[in-house]
Amino acid sequence: MMYDVFQRACPTRLVLDRIADKWTLLILLRLEEEPRRFNALRREVDGISQKVLSQTLRALERDGLVQRRVYPTVPVSVEYAITPLGRTLTGTVDAIRRWAQDNIESVLAAQKRYDAGAVEDPQNPLARAGALERG
């Protein structure tokens, strides 16, 4: 079957939604290092709520990217690990992380210029077009 991500009904859009999520990226990067328990992930992925972590892990498990292991201890221990399919994504995910870290200063500077109205340079026809679109 041929898939075309540009078509609204294409199921690959669901995968793009999942992997474009910041929490998915951060969780996969942590699990790439080693399996982790829920609370360890919650501590290491700063800012994620218990509910969002639980929902994201469940979705990643459903997609076959993460495996949940339950150990019969008292209390029960649950550990999450990346699957072989999930590992096929980690190089791409890490490249996105590196790009974000390497380019954040340029992005922040561009945002500052934009917010200050510097894009409305009359000598730059593309800047004028951008000002018209916002206008």
Pick from 60, 44, 54: which is nearest to 78 by CA? 54
Exposure string of 26-41, with b = 16+ CB inside 10 Å and e = fewer, is bbbbbbbeeebebeeb
What's this model's pTM, rounded to 2 decimal places?
0.79
Dist. CA 94–CA 69, nearest whole Å: 25
CATH of the domain at 44: 1.10.10.10
Dist. CA 125–CA 51, nearest whole Å: 47
- Confidence check: pLDDT of 63 > 80: yes
**Would residue 2 count as lying in a domain?**
no
pLDDT digits (tens, 9 = 90+) for 74-121: 888 999 999 999 999 999 999 999 999 999 999 999 999 999 886 555
Do 100 and 65 contact (CB within 8 A), yes or no? no
CA atoms within 13 Å, Cβ hemisphere of 58: 6
Give the domain range for residue 49. 12-134
The number of domains in the chain is 1
